[in-house]
C-alpha cells in the first residue's frame, strides 16, 4: 500500500462570509496548516453597490465585519495558529478573493458554501464560487455546510 497523500500548502486564503461555516473552515485550515507553519489570511469582503463610490467607508464602520474577523482569529488561536485578518470592499466578492489569492501567491483558497435551496427545490451555489473555481490561480476548496432538517 502506498502512503496517504499529504495535503501541503504554505499560504492559504480563507473567505469569510459571516456564516456558520467560517469557524469550521478556519479550524480545518489551521489544523492542516499547523505542521508546515502555513501562513493563513482570512478575508471578509463587503460588497459595495454600483450606486456608491468604491471607497465609501462602509466596511470600516461595520461592527459585524469586525466580529467576523475577530471570531476567525480566535478560532485559529484555539488551534495554535495565527491568521491575518483582512477586510476588503469590492464590487464583486469572487473577483476580490481571486485578486487577494493572486497578490499573496496563495496556493490554496477556501470558501464556505451554505446548503441553500431556491424556490422549486434546486440546490443553489450562487455566483461567487463558480467565478472563483474558474479564475483562481491556486487550488480551491469548497466546504459545504451539512444539510439541516429545514433545508431537506
Q: What is the pTM of this model?
A: 0.85
Q: What is the pLDDT of residue 8?
A: 79
The tens digit of pLDDT for each residue in 20-79 reads 889 999 999 999 999 999 999 999 998 887 776 667 766 555 788 889 999 999 999 999
Q: What is the pLDDT of residue 146?
A: 80
Q: Which residues contact 3 (CB under 8 A, 6 or more apart)?
A: none
Q: What is the pLDDT of residue 1?
A: 46
Q: What is the pLDDT of residue 2?
A: 47
- What domains, with CATH codes, occur in the chain? 11-144 (3.40.50.620)
Summarize the confidence of residues 72-93 as an average pLDDT: 94
Cα dihedral across residues 81, 33, 41, 127: positive or negative: negative
The tens digit of pLDDT for each residue in 94-140 reads 999 999 999 999 999 999 987 766 565 666 788 999 999 999 999 99
Least confident interval from 13-22, 75-84, 104-113, 142-151? 142-151
CA distances from 131 to 19, 70, 97, 121 (A): 20, 27, 10, 23
Amino acid at each position: 500500500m502506498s502512503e496517504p497523500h499529504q495535503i501541503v500548502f504554505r499560504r492559504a486564503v480563507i473567505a469569510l462570509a459571516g456564516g456558520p461555516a467560517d469557524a469550521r473552515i478556519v479550524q480545518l485550515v489551521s489544523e492542516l496548516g499547523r505542521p508546515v507553519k502555513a501562513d493563513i489570511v482570512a478575508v471578509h469582503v463587503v460588497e459595495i453597490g454600483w450606486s456608491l463610490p468604491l471607497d465609501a467607508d462602509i466596511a470600516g464602520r461595520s461592527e459585524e465585519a469586525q466580529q467576523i474577523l475577530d471570531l476567525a482569529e480566535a478560532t485559529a488561536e484555539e488551534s495554535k495558529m495565527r491568521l491575518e485578518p483582512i477586510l476588503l470592499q469590492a464590487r464583486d466578492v469572487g473577483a476580490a478573493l481571486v485578486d487577494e489569492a493572486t497578490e499573496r501567491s496563495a496556493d490554496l483558497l477556501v470558501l464556505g458554501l451554505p446548503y441553500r435551496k431556491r424556490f422549486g427545490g434546486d440546490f443553489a451555489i450562487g455566483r461567487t464560487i463558480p467565478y472563483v473555481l474558474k479564475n483562481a490561480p491556486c487550488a480551491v476548496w469548497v466546504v459545504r455546510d451539512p444539510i439541516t432538517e429545514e433545508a431537506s
